[in-house]
Structure formats: structure tokens, C-alpha cells
Copies of this chain bind each other. A is one copy, B any other.
Amino acid sequence: MNKTDKSVKTHGKAAITKPDEGKPALHAIKGGKPALVKSLPARPAVKPAAAKPSLLKAAPPAADDTPVIALNLEAAKLSPAMASYFKKCQDKLGFVPNVLVAYAFDMTKLETFVAMYNNLMLGESGLSKLEREMIAVAVSSQNRCYYCLTAHGAAVRQYSRDPLLGEHMVMNYRVARVSKRQRAMLDFAVKLTVSPWSAEDADRERLRRAGFSDRDIWDISAVVGFFNMSNRVASATDMRPNTIYHGQAR
């Protein structure tokens, strides 16, 4: 791969060093605060003391010499909202997730991705955040998406404080000893991923009998859909996860 100096890879750091604190474009949608950053503290910090300091020293996207994606796209100037958002990621997570760096060649694409992601994964729902992450990983396992399995596998480990649950979702969700409700949710998620044409009334009824409301069914479907999208964008571009994810919450 012949990357130019101005590729996405090298962009992250520069953008972060000069955050533009203007009125964020994302504000209007999320009600004033980007939801991801707002919600992130809710993730139980399993090993916060150990993990964060070392990470903050090195600006992660730039510190890793692997390009974030295998496409040569020139970074755009971060919009004020996104600059603020990246800074908050850096402050709270210790790094900017590579998926955000990957989308940062175009502010509209980045903002709409962030808005949809935050609404789906962090917004109000009858599904817990852990359940949404479990779906994310079970779907990504079917699609064998390296980026999403890594980033969201870490999230399952963090939210659940159960490292094995994360591995179960990555390897074969059927081995996880989850509730009947969660099993029905995961069975549907995988079926919808593998054979979307086969979803029918009987499937919706099965979810209702397992305790899900119609709104919950929408939310399950939307998360399944979102990761079927992200898995393909990530695989098509050879998107690489931040290496820090691998060790998180083991």
C-alpha cells in the first residue's frame, strides 16, 4: 500500500491538536451533547488506572504505524463539533476510535455516522447497552469483521465485567449461558444477518413471547442492520482497530 503523507492515518493527531470549539453541528440532533461521549462514562472502567495513563502519552491513531484503512483518503478539517468530540474521546477513552478517524475524510459522513451510532447504541431503548453490544458482536462474528469484533468485543467485556461473555459473542454466541430473552434476541440477530429474507411474523412473535416490545424489536433490528452496514464498510476498507482494544477488560 502506498499511502501519502496526507492520508487518514496521519490526520488524527493534527486534528486533535487544534480542536475547533465552535458550535457543534451534531448539537442539533443529540440535544446539545454528542451522545457517545456523554454516555461513555457509563461503561464500567474495568482497569482504568492501568490502561489510561499509558495511552494518553501516545496519541494513538498516529502512534500505530498501521494505516487505519487501506484507502488513500485525505483527512478533512474537523468541524468544530467533531473536533470537540474527538477531544472528548481522547480525554475520556484515552484514544479516538479508528472508525472515527476513518470517516474523518468527510465531515458530513462522519457526523451522520456518529449521530446514528450514538442514537442506536447509547440512546434510550428497552435493550441495555450491553445487549446492544452483544448483538453487535454476534452479528460481526457472522460477517467475520475484524474491526467490529475487536472494538465491540471489548465493549461486551467492559459492560458485562465478564471477559468470557465477550469471547462467547466473538466465537460462537450459542455457547454463552444467557437468559432465554437474550438468547431469543441473539438467535434473531444472527438469522436476520444470515438470511434476512426469512424474517417473518413467526420471528416477531417469538421475540414478543420472549418479552420484547415492538419497539424493542425495532431496536434489535436496527442494531443488526447497523452492524451489517459497518461490518461491510470496515471489511471493504480493511479498517484496523486501535490495538488498545485487544487488552481491555480481559
The residues of A with any CB-CB pair to B shorter than 8 Å are 1, 25-30, 70-73, 105, 108-109, 111-113, 115-116, 119, 123, 141, 143-146, 149-150, 163-164, 167-168, 170-172, 174-175, 188, 192-193, 196-201, 203-204, 214-215, 217-218, 220-222, 224-226, 228-233, 235-238, 243, 246-247, 250
For residue A147, which residue of chain B has the nearest CB?
B175
- This chain: copies in complex: 6
- Can you give 25 A-B contacts (C-beta < 8 A)? A26-B29, A28-B29, A29-B111, A29-B115, A71-B204, A71-B215, A105-B218, A108-B123, A112-B115, A112-B119, A141-B144, A144-B172, A145-B171, A145-B196, A149-B171, A196-B235, A199-B232, A199-B236, A199-B238, A218-B236, A221-B232, A221-B236, A224-B232, A226-B229, A228-B232
Task: Compute how far the CA of A196 lies from the CA of B188 in the bound complex, rounded to whole angstroms.
Answer: 19
Q: Which residues of B contact A72 (CB under 8 A)?
A: 214
Task: Compute how far the CA of A135 lies from the CA of B26 in the bound complex, rounded to whole angstroms.
Answer: 29
Known: A27-B28, A197-B172, A229-B226. A109 touches B113 (CB 8 A): no
Q: Which residues of B contact A200 (CB under 8 A)?
A: 174, 238
A225–B229 touching, CB < 8 Å: yes
Known: A174-B197, A236-B199. A167 touches B25 (CB 8 A): no
B28–A238 touching, CB < 8 Å: no
Task: Compute how far the CA of A72 lies from the CA of B214 in the bound complex, rounded to whole angstroms.
Answer: 6
Q: Which residues of B contact A112 (CB under 8 A)?
A: 29, 112, 115-116, 119
Known: A29-B28, A230-B225. A218 touches B116 (CB 8 A): no
